[in-house]
A and B are shown apart, each in its own frame.
Chain A
Amino acid sequence: MAPDMVTVIDLVLLALLCAAAVALILVRQLFAVAILAGAFSMLSAGLLVTLDAVDVAFTEAAVGAGVSTVLLLGTLALTQRRSEESRRRGTGPALLAVVLTGGALVYATTDMPGFGDPEAPGFRHVVPEYIVGSETDIGVPNIVTSVLASYRGYDTLGEVAVIFTAGIGVLLLLGRRREDEIQDEARRSGSGDEG
């Protein structure tokens, strides 16, 4: 049986993702790390489209590949461009831990329902209700939107709380810096007067 087109695209994208991940391990230039991370996000967005998750794909492309890359590049501009690690420590134990964890995960997948299996428990519980209800109860054709904003609206409210907290955290971390700098400068000019 010849594999269908979607499977081929799926495999090609997964292979490119694996290549990007391996390149990420090997590269030391932090600029290249940031761009590879952006490429990784963009490729995963492509893969999400083939997996029917179009809403997730454009969020990943905009937020994962866009905003994250900008944040990384901004951090590099404020810190340094090159990783100075001359040699990696603990590569052996790390490799062992990674292989053991991966092996355990692969072993666990053998108990899982197959990829695309319509008999999987995930398709049988509340999901049929959501698919019917999206039209009759909510009246929104995009089922993801009706679950996000209505059936699971409290989850989205919780997400807003998390983003707010993270925003406050960033402001406290980076906003305080300016006050410290001003105080430092004041102290420096004060001691300069005494000297």
Chain B
Amino acid sequence: MPEAITEHYNYWLVIFLLMAGLFVTITSGNLVKKIVGLNVFQTAVFLFYISLAKLEGGTAPILTGEPERFSNPLPHVLILTAIVVGVATTALGLALVVRIRETYGSIEEAGLQEADRQDELRAAAEQGR
């Protein structure tokens, strides 16, 4: 295999996952599925960072007393933080979805636009009266 492929295939597959998440976020009309798309995007970013930290022939960065080559622990720490923050933002997003559902009666983009249109029509009718 050419060197360019063996050196970068991991990054390319992770970029495919990134783009799959982005596609779901853009095209899905359902708010829950949009948030899942964002989550997929986010997990792919995590995998990208951890791929950067991998060292050929390295092991997990835990000292055992023997001289070893360790993968880079710094990205691991950053992503550990990012995973927990990611869940916090997911929870906030889903709470917003629940609130939107209560106010609009729908979690579909089309349903939300329809509800807004109905509201405008009603307001216009009341002004005309």
User: Using Cβ atoms and an 8 Å threshold, which residues of chain A touch B92?
Assistant: 166, 169-170, 173
Inter-chain contact A44/B10, CB cutoff 8 Å = no
User: Using Cβ atoms and an 8 Å threshold, which residues of chain A touch B87?
Assistant: 63-64, 67-68, 71
Nearest-Cβ distance from residue B28 to partner chain A, whole angstroms:
7
Inter-chain contact B47/A44, CB cutoff 8 Å = yes
Total contacts A-B at CB 8 Å: 276
Inter-chain contact B88/A143, CB cutoff 8 Å = no
Given A18-B16, A84-B108, A115-B11, A147-B73 contact (CB < 8 Å): yes
The distance in angstroms between the C-alpha atoms of A84 and B108, with both chains bound, is 7
Per-position 1/0 for A91-115, Cβ under 8 A of B: 1001101110110011001101011
User: Using Cβ atoms and an 8 Å threshold, which residues of chain A touch B64?
Assistant: 141
Nearest-Cβ distance from residue B35 to partner chain A, whole angstroms:
8
Which residues of chain A have a CB within 8 Å of any CB of chain B?
A: 10-11, 14-15, 17-18, 21-22, 24-25, 30, 33-34, 37, 40-41, 44, 47-48, 51-56, 59-60, 63-64, 67-68, 71-72, 74-76, 78-80, 83-85, 88-91, 94-95, 97-99, 101-102, 105-106, 109-110, 112, 114-118, 120, 122-123, 126-127, 130-131, 134-135, 141-144, 147-148, 152, 155-156, 159, 162-163, 165-167, 169-170, 173-174, 177
Which residues of chain B have a CB within 8 Å of any CB of chain A?
A: 3-4, 6-24, 26-30, 32-33, 35-37, 39-40, 43, 46-47, 50-64, 69-81, 83-92, 94-99, 101-102, 107-108, 110-111
Listed by A's residue number, 29 A-B pairs whose Cβ atoms lie within 8 Å are A21-B17, A24-B37, A25-B23, A33-B36, A48-B46, A52-B55, A54-B60, A56-B46, A63-B83, A64-B83, A75-B94, A83-B28, A83-B108, A94-B27, A106-B12, A106-B15, A110-B8, A117-B7, A127-B73, A142-B61, A143-B62, A144-B77, A148-B81, A152-B77, A163-B84, A169-B95, A170-B92, A177-B98, A177-B102
